[in-house]
Structure 1
Amino acid sequence: MAEETGLFIYGIVPSDVEPTPDAAGVGDPPGEVAAIRHGELAALVSEVSLTESIGRPADLTAYQELVDGTAAVAPVLPVRFGTVVTGPDAVADLLEAHHDRFAAALDEFEGRIQYVVHGRYDEPNLIAGVLADNPAAAELADQVRGQPEAATRPQRIRLGEMISQAVELRREAENRQLVDALGPLVVASAPRPPSNELDAANAAFLVERDREEDFVAAVEEYAEQRRELMRTRLLGPLAPYDFVSAHQLVK
């Protein structure tokens, strides 16, 4: 009995984009990446088994590497990870049904790339700063310091709540400062939810390629100014994940 297969869709690109010969897709072994074309568009796809689940960390890495690698040389609309259709006809139908909208979106992202700036607080410095700014929290901290946990449980709970609220307010302010600092150098920005309770800032930025150097320099300056408070990472260049809504492509 023949194995049932489908096509995993990575992204939508202009029709003249060709996958590199060494492009590797998801699956074990990795699928061969191909382009299915219709009009001005193409979809990057690879064949996958419909009987095996796609979702291993290696699959997500393969998806991201392919999409981000494509974005480095051409505009790409990332399709939601895990999107699988029955075959080439289904891909062609998708491209035909949304041809003009996809083409307009690709024009919008021509010459633009995404970066993500992520900052995480240094916990000891963060707590020290919160206590310095909040006398009530500092008093609670003094009350519980060196005392049995069971005997000071209510105070510890209240202290945790106060610190959590203070961190949230600081995070909101830090994200505003980040967007304000980089705003003049970007086309658009998009806030990202915190991935950790110590997250200080997390936002995506759409950057013109001819302004990348200025943008990176501004991020480095921002990070240097805050190096005692947080550790800042710059991720990119990436495909414009945060600026292409999933519902714009495949539901």
Structure 2
Amino acid sequence: MSEQPKWTSVMNNAGTYLYAVTRDEGATLPEDLKGVAGEGVRAITHAGLVAYVSTVPLDRFGEEPLRRSMEDLDWLGETARAHHRVVEAVARTAPTAPVRLVTVYSGEDQIRELLDRRHDDFAETLGRIADRQEWGVKAYVDPAAPPPAEAGEESATSPGLAYLKKRQASLRSREETWRQAAARGEHIHDVLKSVAVASQRHRPQDPQLSGRAEWMILNGAYLVDLERGAEFARVVDGLRGEGIDVELTGPWAPYSFAAFAETPERPGGGTGDDA
């Protein structure tokens, strides 16, 4: 990798932020599309591929500023929304391989080197996701309250022993409720897999992130053929009920099935693992 682009970028106090890669099919984006830090989005075409990028200031996107900024949840949320807005706009024009959040290169020559080095990987991924979209499915269950103690149970024992028995019964009931809920989550996933061409199960979200108090028993992503999108939604709808709430989101660009992890040399020195 040539050092000249790196020094040129550092001297200009600018780096190149990468959002996504597509095939070179002549697609165009809205001229007023803005990416991270409010910067405009442009295309770098090379080797039959197109990389969508922005120029970003190194005083905010260099190695040390990024290390601090990634701990700022407000900054991170705003940057993620801008990143996803660009990826979704690109995905409306062509099969799209998103690149992970905050992937910053020294300059355009480094982007072209990436397109050369990983050309076959991008081509294989773009072929696999063509004419397909990602759908997200989350399933929740509201755990039933423990059954009340039978009449006369507490009077037959001391108050302390009655409390322990009631507590043990409650724990057993909760464990059984969770076991049954987890089995239903597995069943829902299996049904959805039969409609999708690929699937991934993500870790259930903490209630603080999901905004719901119920147990999340499924957090799945499903890659679905375009012509089966309506069918997939009907299947999801049929899985609701009997204490299970199923939430469908999408369709999205296929982040779970096409996102590339890349660790470029950070502008300003060093490497990073945020990409």
2:246 is the alignment partner of 1:232:
yes
**Helix, strand or coil: the match of 2:36?**
coil
Report how far residue 162 of structure 1 moved: 7.0
For 2:191, give the aligned amino acid. Answer: A
Deviations 1:120-147 (A, max 9, x none): 22x3xx133xx35xxxxx66xx98xxxx
Report how far residue 6 of structure 1 moved: 0.8
Report how far residue 62 of structure 1 moved: 1.2
For 2:77, give the aligned amino acid. Answer: P
Deviations 1:136-177 (A, max 9, x none): xx66xx98xxxxxxxx79x869956973x4465345313321
Gaps spanning 5+ residues in structure 1: where? 133-137, 144-151
Report how far residue 234 of structure 1 moved: 1.0
For 1:90, give the aligned amino acid. Answer: Q
Residues 157 and 93 of structure 1: CA distance in aligned 2, closer, same or farther (over 3 Å): farther
For 1:171-182, list aligned pairs within 5 A. Answer: 171-182=181-192
Aligned to 1:9: 18
Deviations 1:175-215 (A, max 9, x none): 32112222232111111110036212211100000111111
**Helix, strand or coil: the match of 2:100?**
coil
How many residues get paired? 225
Distance in 1 (alpha carbons) for counterparts of 2:46 and 2:218: 41
Question: Which of 224, 227, 237 matches 1:220?
Answer: 237
* CA-atom RMSD in angstroms: 3.0
Larger Rg computed on CA atoms? 2
Given that 2:129 and 2:258 are in contact with CA atoms closer than 8 Å, whether structure 1 keeps it comes out as no
Report how far residue 31 of structure 1 moved: 0.8
Report how far residue 217 of structure 1 moved: 1.3
For 1:183, give the aligned amino acid. Answer: K
2:46 is the alignment partner of 1:38:
yes
Given that 1:40 and 1:103 are in contact with CA atoms closer than 8 Å, whether structure 2 keeps it comes out as no
2:78 is the alignment partner of 1:69:
no
Aligned to 1:146: none
Report how far residue 246 of structure 1 moved: 3.9
Report how far residue 106 of structure 1 moved: 0.5
Distance in 2 (alpha carbons) for counterparts of 1:221 and 1:8: 42
Aligned to 1:114: 134
Report how far residue 114 of structure 1 moved: 0.2
Report how far residue 79 of structure 1 moved: 0.6
Report how far residue 119 of structure 1 moved: 1.8
Identity of aligned residues (%): 27
2:258 is the alignment partner of 1:244:
yes
Question: Which of 110, 114, 125 matches 1:105?
Answer: 125
Gaps spanning 5+ residues in structure 2: where? 1-9, 61-68, 155-162, 208-214, 264-274
For 1:17-166, list aligned pairs within 5 A. Answer: 17-27=27-37, 30-52=38-60, 53=69, 55-121=75-141, 123=142, 126-128=143-145, 131=146, 163=174, 165-166=175-176
Residues 239 and 156 of structure 1: CA distance in aligned 2, closer, same or farther (over 3 Å): farther
**Helix, strand or coil: the match of 2:95?**
coil
Distance in 2 (alpha carbons) for counterparts of 1:239 and 1:69: 9
